[in-house]
Every structure is written in structure tokens, then in C-alpha cells.
């Protein structure tokens, strides 16, 4: 009703305005006039006249879709001509390379031409009265600024272009936790965490979760990775650490378990066991050596004692022979025993 009223107003006053010089027309709009409604009429008139030309309107300024889902990109237009020469071009300026827009899909001479990389995923819905497109199985790379350009000669496009921002969201991927450094007492350790995917950019956080929960100060090494530096580690540093990557669509965690070892740097308690061990081992070795020496000496003493006793019991000349004889006599039995 409102539009009809404007058009009627226009029809009554348009002829009069057209006869006036151009300067009059602009002054009516800019400076006002004695008759206030004349001004309104003129302006309404100009607006109504623009409506007669082809005009594109985007029903949405921006849209969000979760990766993998389908999305309808709406593009409406008003035209007063028939659709025989309708031409629609959709382009995308991707977020990854905004300065190089690509053609998504084109309708021209009643034919649809699709970007080869999007075949099977994109199509017009509602042609020819609407220029909406449907995008299936969305990828993160589909995100960007979409432009819908419509021409329908002889209508003049005014404006024939509409813009729409599409964001393709995705949950964070599983982050990767790593640590490097020195887990000896007094050393320093660096925990790092990086995540590959996620839109909007996942927030990275490091926390110690066991034995007690503490959130840790993080240094961001770029957008998708963050690290924590722990200096002068002590036994209290031991425990379980968690890195979480979170965005609106979800959270993913990875974990690092640190065990801090006591070493020489840990003071007397670190040195003592080593020293004690060395001492004990030396003592054992010494004892063994002493035992061997003692056994050897008692063996010699026993034999020489026997010899002496034998020497004493037998004659001088025979004693030498008997000694040799005895040694020879014992040897075969020893050998036999070792072979049995
Ligand atoms: C997109 O999906 C819809 C619904 O699942 C389907 O009707 C349409 O044909 C699909 N479009 C393309 C281009 O595959
Ligand atoms: C390291 O920590 C110990 C106790 O945990 C402290 O006595 C020492 O002063 C610290 N050293 C440095 C360099 O901060």
C-alpha cells in the first residue's frame, strides 16, 4: 500500500518536476521549499523511479555455517523486464586471498556455468526470479566475501551488486603437546602446544592438572601455538600438564606428564647415594682381594707345612723325589674329576 501511494504521488508530480530546470530539482531536495510536501513528493519520486531499475538486495549481510553443512546464500533482485537476458555472476573473495576473487557460478543465456572446483557442491535455487545459491558440504576455504551481480537488460542495474560475508566454522583439531629441556632439578623445561585447525581461531591454554590445578602463563608463538617456560624446575614441577584448544564449537586437549629427577644439582641428597655406592663397592672389592690373598697364602702355608712335615718324616734324598711323585700322582685324578 505504501509503495502504491508513493507511486501515485510520483505520477501526479513527476511531470511538473521534469519540466523544471535541473537546478530546481536539486534545490528542492537540498534546501527545502515553501511547500514541504512538494519536497517529500520530489524525493519520494526519485526513490520510486530508482525502484523501477534493477536492484539487488541481500537478505543477509553475513552468514555462519559449520564446515560440512549446507548453506543458502540469498540474493534477491527486482526487475521490471522479463528474464530473457538475465545474467547473474557470483564471485568469492576468499579470506585467504581477498585480493583475488574467483567466479563461483554464472547464469548467462539460460545456462549455468560453475567453477570446476565447486561442481557438485554449488547450484542456483529459485532462478530466474531469484539469484540465490546453495553451497553444500562447505569447506573452510569457502569462507569470504560473496558478491552477487545481476544484470537484466534493458534494465539498468542500480545497484546490481550485493555483498555477503560467509564464515565457515570448524571445531579445533586435536592439539599436539610437546616438551623439551632439562627435567633435572634446577633445569628449565618448555611445554609447547600447537593446533592445526579451528575457526574461529582456537584459544590455547596450558594448565597443570595434577596433583593440583593451576593455570599457567602462556607465550603465543603465532596464532595457533602457545608455550610455557618453566625455569628452575624442582620436584614440585612433576605432574600432569594439559593444553586445551577451544573455540565456540568445542574443546580438544592434549597432555604432557613431567617427572623431575633428583641429581647432583639437588644438593647433598643427590650426591650421597652415588658416593655411598662407590664406597661400598670399593670395600667389597677390597674384602674380596683380601680374601683371595688370604686363601692363597693359607694354601701355600698348608702345602709347605705338609712338605715340611714329610721332609721331617722321610730322609733327605728321598724327600725331593717323593715331592715330585706326589704332584704327578695327584694330577691325573684332578684331570679325571674335571672331565667327569
Ligand atoms: C545440495 O544439497 C541439497 C539437499 O541435500 C540437494 O537437494 C542439492 O541437490 C545439493 N546440491 C548440489 C549442487 O549437489
Ligand atoms: C631454584 O629453586 C630453589 C628452591 O626451589 C631456590 O632455592 C633457588 O634459589 C632457585 N634458583 C634460582 C636461580 O632461582
Q: Give yes or no for a cis peptide into 128 (omega within 30° of 0).
A: yes
Point out the ligand nearest to the CA of residue 265: 2
Point out the ligand nearest to the CA of residue 231: 2
**Bridging pattern class, strands 189-194 and 122-124:** unpaired
Q: How confident is the model at residue 263 (pLDDT cuts 50, 70, 90)?
A: low
Point out the ligand nearest to the CA of residue 260: 2
Residues 109, 211 share a domain: no
Q: Which three cell numbers stand for residue 234?
A: 624442582
Q: What is the 215 CA–ligand 2 centroid distance (Å)? A: 21
| Cβ of residue 122 lying under 6 Å from some atom of ligand 1 | yes
Residues 157, 68 share a domain: yes
State the closest ligand 2 atom to the C-alpha of 232, by its place in the atom list counted from 1. Answer: 1
Residues 181, 112 share a domain: no
Lowest mean pLDDT among 183-187, 195-199, 239-243: 183-187
Residues 96, 79 share a domain: yes
Task: Reply yes or no on whether the pLDDT at 26 is more than 90.
Answer: no
| Cβ of residue 104 lying under 6 Å from some atom of ligand 1 | no
Domain membership of residue 162 (yes or no) is yes
State the closest ligand 2 atom to the C-alpha of 186, by its place in the atom list counted from 1. Answer: 1
Residues 189, 225 share a domain: yes
| Structural domain boundaries enclosing 135 | 55-169
Query: How far is residue 162's CA from residue 140's CA, in Å, rounded to a whole number?
Result: 22
Choose among 121, 95, 91, 93: nearest CA to 105.
91
Task: Reply yes or no on whether the pLDDT at 11 is more than 50.
Answer: no
Point out the ligand nearest to the CA of residue 186: 2
Q: Give me the mean pLDDT over the 41-62 stretch.
A: 68
Domain membership of residue 328 (yes or no) is no
Instruction: Look at the chain and report how many structural domains it folds into.
Output: 3
44 or 129, higher pLDDT: 129
Please check whether residue 263 is in contact with residue 234, taking contact to mean a CB–CB distance below 8 angstroms: no
| Cβ of residue 72 lying under 6 Å from some atom of ligand 1 | no
Percent of the chain with pLDDT over 70: 67
Q: How confident is the model at residue 243 (pLDDT cuts 50, 70, 90)?
A: very high
Sheet of 111-114: strand order equals 62-66, 161-169, 144-151, 87-94, 102-108, 111-114
**Bridging pattern class, strands 219-220 and 122-124:** unpaired
Please check whether residue 253 is in contact with residue 244, taking contact to mean a CB–CB distance below 8 angstroms: yes
State the closest ligand 2 atom to the C-alpha of 236, by its place in the atom list counted from 1. Answer: 5
| Cβ of residue 182 lying under 6 Å from some atom of ligand 1 | no
Residues 70, 88 share a domain: yes
Which residue among 184, 186, 188, 232 has the greatest number of ligand 2 atoms within 8 angstroms of its CB, and so is best to mutate? 232
Amino acid at each position: 500500500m505504501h509503495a502504491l501511494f508513493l507511486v501515485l504521488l510520483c505520477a501526479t508530480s513527476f511531470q511538473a518536476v521534469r519540466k523544471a530546470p535541473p537546478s530546481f530539482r536539486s534545490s528542492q531536495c537540498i534546501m527545502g521549499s515553501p511547500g514541504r510536501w512538494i519536497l517529500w513528493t520530489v524525493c519520494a519520486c526519485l526513490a520510486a523511479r530508482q525502484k523501477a531499475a534493477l536492484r539487488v538486495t541481500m537478505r543477509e549481510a553475513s552468514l555462519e555455517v559449520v564446515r560440512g553443512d549446507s548453506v543458502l546464500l540469498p540474493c534477491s533482485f527486482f526487475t521490471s523486464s522479463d528474464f530473457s537476458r538475465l545474467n547473474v555472476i557470483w564471485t568469492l573473495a576468499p579470506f585467504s586471498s581477498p585480493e583475488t576473487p574467483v567466479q563461483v557460478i554464472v547464469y548467462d543465456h539460460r545456462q549455468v556455468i560453475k567453477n570446476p572446483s565447486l561442481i557438485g557442491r554449488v547450484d542456483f535455487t529459485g532462478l530466474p526470479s531469484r539469484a540465490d545459491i546453495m553451497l553444500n558440504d562447505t569447506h573452510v576455504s569457502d569462507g569470504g566475501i560473496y558478491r552477487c551481480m545481476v544484470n537484466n537488460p534493458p534494465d539498468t542495474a542500480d545497484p546490481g551488486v550485493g555483498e555477503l560475508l560467509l564464515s565457515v566454522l570448524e571445531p579445533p583439531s586435536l592439539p599436539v603437546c610437546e616438551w623439551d629441556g632439562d627435567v633435572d632439578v634446577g633445569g628449565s623445561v618448555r611445554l609447547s602446544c600447537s593446533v592445526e585447525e579451528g575457526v574461529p581461531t582456537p584459544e590455547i591454554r596450558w594448565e597443570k592438572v595434577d596433583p593440583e590445578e593451576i593455570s599457567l602463563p602462556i607465550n603465543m608463538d603465532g596464532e595457533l601455538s602457545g608455550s610455557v617456560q618453566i625455569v628452575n624446575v624442582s620436584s614440585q614441577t612433576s605432574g600432569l600438564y594439559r593444553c586445551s584448544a577451544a573455540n565456540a564449537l568445542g574443546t580438544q586437549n592434549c597432555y604432557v606428564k613431567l617427572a623431575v629427577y633428583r641429581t647432583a644439582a639437588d644438593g647433598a641428597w643427590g650426591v650421597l647415594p652415588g658416593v655411598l655406592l662407590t664406597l661400598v663397592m670399593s670395600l667389597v672389592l677390597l674384602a674380596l682381594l683380601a680374601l683371595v690373598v688370604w686363601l692363597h697364602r693359607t694354601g701355600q702355608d698348608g702345602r709347605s707345612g705338609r712338605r715340611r712335615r714329610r721332609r721331617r718324616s722321610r730322609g733327605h734324598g728321598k724327600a725331593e723325589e717323593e715331592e715330585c711323585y706326589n704332584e704327578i700322582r695327584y694330577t691325573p685324578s684332578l684331570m679325571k674329576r674335571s672331565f667327569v
